[in-house]
A and B are shown apart, each in its own frame.
Chain A
Amino acid sequence: MAEMRPPIESGAPDPMQYMHPVMVKNYGKWAFHDHPKPGVLRHRAENGDEIWTVKAGTQRQMDVYTIRLLCDIADKFADGHVRFTARSNIEYMVSDPAKVEPLIKALNDNGFPIGGTANSVSMISHTQGFLHCDIPGTDASGVVKALMDELYDEFINCEMPNRVKMSTSCCEINCGGQADIAIIMQHTKPPKINHDLVANVCERPSVVARCPVAAIRPALVNGKPSLEVDEKKCICCGACYPPCPPMQINDPEHSKLAIWVGGKNSNARSRPTFHKLVVSGLPNNAPRWPEVAVVVKNILSVYKADAQPWERMADWIDRIGWPRFFEKTGLPFTKYHIDDWRGSRATLNASAHIRF
């Protein structure tokens, strides 16, 4: 066997070596920014230096040809520097304002939309899906591509009351994150157990321990050690599936998409909040998931028309109240919207505060 190469445990690299020189020079000394147009930011440092940022949408999962193309554009217009945002947008920084328009043109000519700043709908943060996860009920990159096609105009324009962050997740673990609008695969039936495989594949006590409602018990099935699920108790969370794949939770027909709204991590105005369920039962309809797009666009258009400037989705709903949210969006309010999990009473209206 060849000599093994020990790794260099360098950890997180120093960004200074890759950063645009104007940003290095003014690190920690910025004083002002404005937003000349959608997708473009101008930052000014204390000493008057300026840097212009042009933000473009990407497909996140990029082939080397796309990355090299983005590099060619950076070399030509942006001094060879870029950065990525937490939502997989790419940012080009230029110190010469005369390069902004040619840069935008080069990106647009190559199919990259400019936008995602301020009160636009930014790129949907997303997960792995069929491309790489071992437990997905749906795809991720495909859902996002399909939805961003529908929301393209909202990305390149800034017409929303405030910024809109969206996320999608391909199972209830929700790697995608909290968002103003989150689209999450939701299991609606208990796991289907392949009893022949359980004993070989699953560490039974740890599977039992995973279940949040103690619905799983060890059992002998056909003379073999296996597991059984009390289906009345089961909340279909899917937590038993990762450690025990023979407990199949994904179901092409019964795994549905649910939509949640009003999450935000920013502390601006109100405290950070988690998103809340508004719609469930949407079909998992590859490759374009049109039913999801209809609901999302409806919520966005009501928000756009009704919210005041600077109100995030959560702020808007806080002001008008949930009954009005359901009324204005035309979405049905069902018994499933009333939480009955731990701590649920804090979500009930313990006051006579009612809007008429």
Chain B
Amino acid sequence: MAKKMHDTPMLDQLESGPWPSFVTGLKRLAKDNDMMVDLMGQLETSYRNTKGYWKGGTVGVFGYGGGVIPRFTELKDENEKPVFPAAAEFHTLRIQPPAGMHYNTDILRKFCDTWEKHGSGLIAFHGQSGDIMFQGVTTANVQPAFDELNEMGFDMGGAGPALRTSMSCVGAARCEMSNYDEAKALRTVINSNIDDMHRPALPYKFKFKFSGCANDCVNAIQRSDMAVIGTWRDNIRVNEALAKDYMAHHGMEKLVNDVISRCPTKALSLKNTSDVSKADGFCSVAVTDTQSLEIDNHNCVRCMHCLNVMPGALLPGMDKGATILVGGKSVLKIGATMGTVVIPFMKLESEEDFEALSELSRNILDFFAENALEHERTGEMIDRIGLVNFLEGVGLDIDANMILEPRSNPYARMDGWDEEVAKAEERKKKAAG
């Protein structure tokens, strides 16, 4: 039997209403866990005073430099004693989930047993970087709790100036839009750079994220320093039975208004089936006995819209891979930045392809480690040094897909023009084989 519950009139109000309530969960835990009784006391005080009462510190596990988020209470009485002593220490373990966040009930129950024994019993699935967050543990119990989780096959995630835990979409496991093996890519990149996660020594955080297509279900483009976003190079695949099925259910008006007219590059058109183009890059699918949807694949930007509206009728092509973007991040310093294309297309099929992805990740991490200022994210570094310097630093060729438009201001020295033209001709020759 735990200690007496504190009055929590404000938190109590969060128990009403139809959505599942975390407060009800906290109360259930508090029935036989003193830490949760006092946690609720502190949380109620925060609600009453509109003020947070945690401060950081240093707590870790043997062998690693990061991954535990230490929290000590700042809510003290006049004698400097914690007002809620049982929750005076309330640390979080960031634990890396399986790629794609799949679980069976056996492993979830084991998590619960461990966290009930050593910690508060409160677990968040998941943080916005992907970690399973085991919330609420004393300093003394951090090591035994981690040891048990580690023995089950789970490893510490990232915190501090380090490589962070990664996320991949459900992708190949259950999505017809997937263009590469997201789980394999995540594990290849993260597990071969794992030292940078466990021993924080980078200028600041670095995140990788893996989405199987441009729908970008795990928000790689805005929230990762290196985003791997699946795409394809050849023609959209079509399935006539499903296309006709779409028409039967939705009709011509929707095909025109919802599919064709929303294509951002006007790559779609409605044609008499007898008139569809047979030229390179064009494909089509019959939607009625006489009419077809025609796709100009060279002008398709793989935005995913038409595939989303007509699932299965239109599918990614066969020549699959990924676009790599670098420098997405949230605010601080220069404000939020979007990832920038650094490789328009990278094949991701063979072992060598995954090897190349791993090598690229290593090069970018190394360049970041050597060239970013303290507390500077990759996006800010690129902002400071310019994209061209970044590309030269990591050994990537320039490509016109990296820009929206060429410079419009004349303020630049261009006396190396002739050499650059020669390089451009060289690249063209190389591409032509």
Give A residues with C-beta under 8 Å from B: 4-20, 23, 27-28, 30-34, 43-44, 51, 53, 57-68, 70-71, 74-75, 80-86, 88, 90, 93, 111-113, 125, 127, 129-139, 141-142, 145-146, 148-149, 152, 172-178, 206, 209-210, 212, 237, 239, 245, 250, 252, 255, 263, 265-270, 272, 274, 284, 286-288, 308-310, 341-342
Compute how far the CA of A172 lies from the CA of B336 in the bound complex, rounded to whole angstroms. 11
CB–CB B242/A32 < 8 A: yes
Q: Interface segment, B14-22, B282-290, B420-428? A: B14-22
Q: For the complex formed, measure the closest distance between the CB of A111 and the CB atoms of chain B, giving whole angstroms.
A: 6
A73 nearest CB neighbor, chain B only: B105
CB–CB A212/B333 < 8 A: yes
CB–CB B219/A178 < 8 A: yes
CB–CB B312/A274 < 8 A: no
Compute how far the CA of A44 lies from the CA of B155 in the bound complex, rounded to whole angstroms. 34
Q: For the complex formed, measure the closest distance between the CB of A205 and the CB atoms of chain B, giving whole angstroms.
A: 11
Instruction: Determine which of B50, B102, B175 lies in contact with A18 in the assembled complex, contact meaning CB atoms within 8 Å.
Output: B102
On whether A149 and B19 interact (CB within 8 A), knowing A18-B107, A270-B264, the answer reads yes
B95 nearest CB neighbor, chain A only: A13
Most buried by B among A64, A148, A149, A175: A64
Question: Is B367 in the interface zone, CB < 8 Å from A?
Answer: no
CB–CB B155/A8 < 8 A: yes
Question: Is B6 in the interface zone, CB < 8 Å from A?
Answer: no
Compute how far the CA of A263 lies from the CA of B181 in the bound complex, rounded to whole angstroms. 27
Q: For the complex formed, measure the closest distance between the CB of A63 and the CB atoms of chain B, giving whole angstroms.
A: 3
Q: For the complex formed, measure the closest distance between the CB of B76 and the CB atoms of chain A, giving whole angstroms.
A: 14
Compute how far the CA of A30 lies from the CA of B108 in the bound complex, rounded to whole angstroms. 27
Give B residues with C-beta under 8 Å from A: 10-11, 13-14, 16-23, 25-26, 28-29, 43, 46-47, 49-56, 61-64, 69, 71, 90, 92, 96-109, 111-112, 115-116, 121-126, 128, 135, 143, 146-147, 150-151, 153-156, 165-167, 169-170, 172-176, 178, 181, 183, 186-187, 190-191, 194-195, 197-198, 214-223, 229, 239, 242, 254, 257-258, 262-264, 301-305, 308-309, 311-312, 315, 330-336, 338, 374-375
Name the A residues within 8 Å of B221 (CB-CB).
Answer: 265, 267, 272
Compute how far the CA of A266 lies from the CA of B230 in the bound complex, rounded to whole angstroms. 12
Most buried by A among B106, B135, B155, B218: B155
Additional A-B contact list (17), CB under 8 Å, known A11-B197, A145-B23: A5-B62, A5-B147, A8-B155, A23-B174, A31-B312, A33-B311, A59-B22, A63-B25, A81-B104, A82-B108, A86-B128, A113-B18, A113-B20, A134-B71, A250-B50, A266-B214, A341-B335
Compute how far the CA of A342 lies from the CA of B153 in the bound complex, rounded to whole angstroms. 47
Compute how far the CA of A28 lies from the CA of B180 in the bound complex, rounded to whole angstroms. 8
On whether A59 and B52 interact (CB within 8 A), knowing A27-B173, A82-B108, A267-B303, the answer reads no
B311 nearest CB neighbor, chain A only: A33
Q: For the complex formed, measure the closest distance between the CB of A227 and the CB atoms of chain B, giving whole angstroms.
A: 17
CB–CB A267/B102 < 8 A: no
Compute how far the CA of A67 lies from the CA of B135 in the bound complex, rounded to whole angstroms. 14
Name the B residues within 8 Å of A34 (CB-CB).
Answer: 311
Name the A residues within 8 Å of B239 (CB-CB).
Answer: 31-32
CB–CB B331/A287 < 8 A: no
Instruction: Determine which of A33, A67, A175, A268 lies in contact with B128 in the assembled complex, contact meaning CB atoms within 8 Å.
Output: A175
Which applies to chain A's interface (DSSP): helix, strand, loop or mixed? loop
Compute how far the CA of A310 lies from the CA of B305 in the bound complex, rounded to whole angstroms. 9
Name the A residues within 8 Å of B374 (CB-CB).
Answer: 206
Compute how far the CA of A134 lies from the CA of B102 in the bound complex, rounded to whole angstroms. 30
Name the B residues within 8 Å of A44 (CB-CB).
Answer: 312
Q: Which 10 A-B pairs have the closest CB atoms?
A: A32-B312, A149-B17, A63-B25, A11-B191, A252-B50, A267-B214, A130-B46, A148-B19, A71-B105, A64-B112
Name the A residues within 8 Å of B308 (CB-CB).
Answer: 268
CB–CB A134/B178 < 8 A: no
How many CB-defined contacts (below 8 Å) exist between A and B? 358
Q: For the complex formed, measure the closest distance between the CB of B55 and the CB atoms of chain A, giving whole angstroms.
A: 5
Name the A residues within 8 Å of B50 (CB-CB).
Answer: 137-138, 250, 252, 255, 284, 286
B53 nearest CB neighbor, chain A only: A130
Q: For the complex formed, measure the closest distance between the CB of B239 and the CB atoms of chain A, giving whole angstroms.
A: 8
CB–CB B98/A27 < 8 A: no
A22 nearest CB neighbor, chain B only: B174
Compute how far the CA of A27 lies from the CA of B173 in the bound complex, rounded to whole angstroms. 5
CB–CB B96/A11 < 8 A: yes
Name the B residues within 8 Å of A93 (CB-CB).
Answer: 174
CB–CB A134/B22 < 8 A: no
Instruction: Determine which of A13, A14, A272 lies in contact with B222 in the assembled complex, contact meaning CB atoms within 8 Å.
Output: A272
14 contacts between A and B (CB under 8 A): A12-B155, A15-B173, A34-B311, A61-B22, A63-B25, A70-B108, A75-B105, A86-B126, A130-B53, A134-B56, A142-B47, A176-B128, A250-B51, A265-B222
B39 nearest CB neighbor, chain A only: A131
CB–CB B22/A60 < 8 A: yes
A7 nearest CB neighbor, chain B only: B63
Name the B residues within 8 Å of A274 (CB-CB).
Answer: 222, 336, 338
